[in-house]
Structure 1
Amino acid sequence: MTENLLLAFGLTLMAGLATGIGSLLAFVTTTTNTKFLSFTLGFSAGVMIYVSMVEIFFKAQEALIGATDEVTGNWLTVAGFFGGMILIALIDKLIPKQSNPHELKKVEDMEKSPKNPDLLKMGTFTAVAIAIHNFPEGIATFTSALQDPGLGLAIAVAIAIHNIPEGIAVSVPVYYATGNRKKAFKLSFLSGLSEPIGALVAFLVLMPYLTDMLFGIIFAGVAGIMIFISLDELLPAAKKYDETHLPIYGVMAGMAVMALSLLLFI
């Protein structure tokens, strides 16, 4: 159990701090590899969609049916699934559009119009938006890894990939505002810490009450959250970076890799 706890926290930390990787990419590269980013965002969406609908949803259903009965369990699973969607949709709705971390940003933007103080507020809001947005993702990664380390790893990798452009989204406006790359990186890095904080909250608050019923509801919600993120954020962002079929090829590759890993390791 202790080993699983450490792994769950480690995976959540890795996923959250990927925002820092995005920020670093903005500093060490001069152009955005849009094709690679488009493919990897599609890949991340493919992993999330496949694992949510093929594995997580049915694990939730199995747990809830076991805790209640078949009819009640099925209804609770569906309710938890759409509840997760509604939760993440509300979080997105509360984030001002200009501060939304999923607005397209490129590395090239780092060199445009630095030291524009009007954008410091936007950069700060973006960091806060990412922190709020990543909190439930931290709970999702932690609880998944705790129950099934292989599944948790897949989710952590998918979330880490989608956190990379979020790191760029923080760095660009903060650098605009201050001309300070270190400050831009620091804020981006810190915004990702809400993911392990979400894991810590899950451990302290949910763990003592983690019955089959609660586990099933959380997992159903996780599936809904991940489907929403994939359809509302990852795929549109992937299409913005590349308008060809590349994002869909990424989705197919992500699904194939996830399917293979489920067949071989889970």
Structure 2
Amino acid sequence: MTFLQDLTFVLVAAILTNLAAGLGAVPFFFIDEISDRIYVVLWGLASGVMLSASLFGLLPEGLRQGSPLLVVGGAVAGVGLVILAKRALSNYEFHPETISEADFRQLVLIVGTLTVHSFPEGVAVGVAFADLPVGGRGIDVLRFTIPLLAVFVTTAIAIQNIPEGLAVAIPLKTAGLSNTKILGWVLFSSLPQPIAAVIAFYFVNVTRAVLPIGLGFAAGAMIFLVLFELLPEARTRGSQLSGGGRLELAIGLAIGIAIMSPLLIAG
């Protein structure tokens, strides 16, 4: 396969993770409200698969590809970039329902906000496919041998995108937008992922020396997002539940890790 074909394959895989976010809007075609209990379980599930992808997929592969210093440096860079981006956007709260009325500055801020959350996940997909041209152990799809790490990470990101899509959809539903518009904005919210995946895949194939840094970057950024975005959001949503939603969160985490277990064993 040519490099362009490999790049196209990665783009398609990343687009599929983007489309998975749309599943978060699908329930509103049938019901008007999602209970906080289900919401907490879903955020727990997303956290479980993201932590599994980072701790048992990206970081070990990074250490196999390069020195611990490079991997740790990449992880620190990933965390640092997310923190800096969040601080730069700290005075702006993302309300998708206002996008149609936004001026140029608002649109820049909106895209920046979406990128903070989606870009690291796209990088994770891109670097996970780094060995696509090499072949070896993996799963055969359409005459491509997909590395197990790529299957592992892409599955995790796709699953995580579902509750993330739901998080975007809920305020839009409350604001009275139509289901079709809600679906469109949810898909838009994950648009940076395919872009980031292609960029990351290109760079780690042109300069293989950056692969351990890229793997560490993706892992560090995603772990940070889980600890400081996903889990706090789950605790906030579960604050009115009995026990503060801790049981629901634990169930979600357990389900997320269990879903990823077969790929962990295969790896």
- Give the structure-1-normalised TM-score: 0.74
Indicate the residue corresponding to 2:263 in structure 1: 261
Counterpart-to-counterpart distance in 1, 2:172 and 2:212: 40
Post-superposition shift, 1:6?
5.2
Where do 1:62-73 residues align within 5 Å? 62-64=64-66, 73=67
Q: Is the CA contact (8 Å cut-off) linking 2:49 and 2:256 kept in structure 1?
A: yes
User: Is 1:145 matched with 2:124?
Assistant: no
User: What is the total number of aligned residue pairs between the two structures?
Assistant: 242
Counterpart-to-counterpart distance in 1, 2:8 and 2:78: 26
- The one of 49, 54, 60 equivalent to 1:52 is 54
Counterpart-to-counterpart distance in 1, 2:258 and 2:167: 29
CA offsets, 1:14-54, max 9 Å, x none? Answer: 22223322233334321204333322321221222233223
Post-superposition shift, 1:207?
4.5
Indicate the residue corresponding to 1:43 in structure 2: 45
- The one of 68, 71, 80 equivalent to 2:74 is 80
Counterpart-to-counterpart distance in 1, 2:64 and 2:177: 53
- The one of 160, 182, 185 equivalent to 1:184 is 182
| Structure 2: tracts of 5 or more residues without a match | 132-145, 239-244
Indicate the residue corresponding to 1:113 in structure 2: none
Give SS of 1:30's match: coil
Q: Is the CA contact (8 Å cut-off) linking 1:41 and 1:234 kept in structure 2?
A: yes
User: Is 1:154 matched with 2:156?
Assistant: no
Indicate the residue corresponding to 1:10 in structure 2: 12
Give SS of 2:32's match: coil
Indicate the residue corresponding to 1:209 in structure 2: 206
| Structure 1: tracts of 5 or more residues without a match | 65-72, 102-115
Give SS of 1:99's match: coil
Q: Is the CA contact (8 Å cut-off) linking 1:12 and 1:141 kept in structure 2?
A: yes
Indicate the residue corresponding to 1:25 in structure 2: 27
RMSD: 3.4
Which has more helix, going by share of residues? 1
The one-letter amino acid of 1:136's match is P
- Give the structure-2-normalised TM-score: 0.74
CA offsets, 1:139-176, max 9 Å, x none? Answer: 21122134363322332233233333443444455566
Post-superposition shift, 1:97?
6.0
Counterpart-to-counterpart distance in 2, 1:117 and 1:134: 20
